[in-house]
Amino acid sequence: MVVPTQLTAEAVNQLREGIDLLLGRWSALQMAIQNEWGGRDTRQKAQQLSVDVYHWLIRPAEALYVDDLENLLDDFMLSLNTEIDDGSIEEISDNLMIMHEECLEGNFASIERLRQSIPTANHRIQVVNGDEDDSDSASSSGDESMEMADELDPSSNLSDMTLSEPHRARTPIVDADGWTVVSSRRNRAVTTKKVDAKSQALKTAKAVKTGSTFQKKAKKIRTKVTFHRPKTLKTDRNPKYPRISAPPRNKLDHYQILKYPLTTESAMKKIEDNNTLVFIVDIRADKKKIKAAVKKMYDIQTKKVNTLIRPDGTKKAYVRLTPDYDALDVANKIGII
């Protein structure tokens, strides 16, 4: 038989009534409501809990796990400053899941039994006090809470639940390494390890004595009176990229060396009398560079070059040509005359 996944209209009404009946017979919740442990709006919070449980049960296309429902109820009771340790949260969750499955099948017998049953159950709860330092007030409030639990009307207890059997405590599981795994309601695992204090102390003392702190460094015995500084490894530079993007060009070329020819009267006399051309050259140029620049610029051979620094800081060069070249013709060619 295939179980339907959606509730009918009648099943929805029955499920809502069943949730209200089940929560209304939960003595821990009713005690928190009567004493307003969650504040003045505790009753409104309890009504909202019934709505939240209903919407949680009818979630579409989602698997329902009883552990998630237990967490929902436990978080709600903690919001009311109430901690439940009698196992009633697990029993309420199981009954709600069973009730939901029966409503899907159209079976409302358990809800009918809730209407007609007379519950007789007693639960043990603990109030979470925010001020833990005030031990007297905490103990007195705990006594009053237990008295209120005894004086509650029996109709406020849970019904249709077997609570005579106390909640079994889970036995811790010890693995081969000595680790104790304790599982909680919230699907958490807390691991603790049994450690012998004496063996741990001996182990720590041994580690301290053998550590580098207590070991003395052996002194190096020197047999010579001379001392040489040890060599330091120096590696060649290996940059990831060149620091200069382009190689620098030679700025002192023949155009920079020969700035301009000198056309003064004395320079003209040197051309006519001594077969010599006079140029203003770069201050960094020497005689060999000047000779090479004249050869490259005018294609003439030079016999001798003399230089001097003028009073204004410029450099003057006297370029004497070979007998094969006439300085006057060269001057006409380059436009000096």
The sign of the torsion formed by the CA atoms of 185, 191, 195, 201 equals negative
**According to the model, what pLDDT value does residue 212 have?**
59
**According to the model, what pLDDT value does residue 230 have?**
86
Q: DSSP assignment of 241-267, as one string?
A: S-SSSSPPP----HHHHEEEE--SHHH
**According to the model, what pLDDT value does residue 178 have?**
58
Please report the domains of the chain, with CATH numbers, ordered by start residue: 9-156 (no CATH), 254-334 (3.30.70.330)
Q: DSSP assignment of 174-221, as one string?
A: E-TTSEEEEE-TTS-EEEEE---HHHHHHHHHHHHHTSTTSPPPPPPP
Alpha-carbon Rg for the chain in angstroms: 53
**According to the model, what pLDDT value does residue 89 have?**
87
Burial 152-178 (b: 16+ CB within 10 A, else e): beeebbbbbbebeeeeeeeeeeeeeee
User: Over its length of 337 residues, how does the chain's per-residue pLDDT go in tens digits?
Assistant: 455 667 788 888 888 888 888 888 888 888 888 888 888 888 888 888 888 888 888 876 667 888 888 888 888 888 888 888 788 888 888 888 888 888 888 888 888 888 887 554 444 445 444 444 444 444 444 444 444 444 444 344 444 443 333 344 445 555 566 555 545 444 444 444 455 778 888 888 877 777 655 566 778 888 888 888 888 999 998 888 877 777 777 788 999 999 999 999 999 999 999 999 999 999 999 999 999 999 999 999 999 999 999 999 999 999 999 999 999 999 999 888 7
**According to the model, what pLDDT value does residue 160 have?**
41
**According to the model, what pLDDT value does residue 142 have?**
46
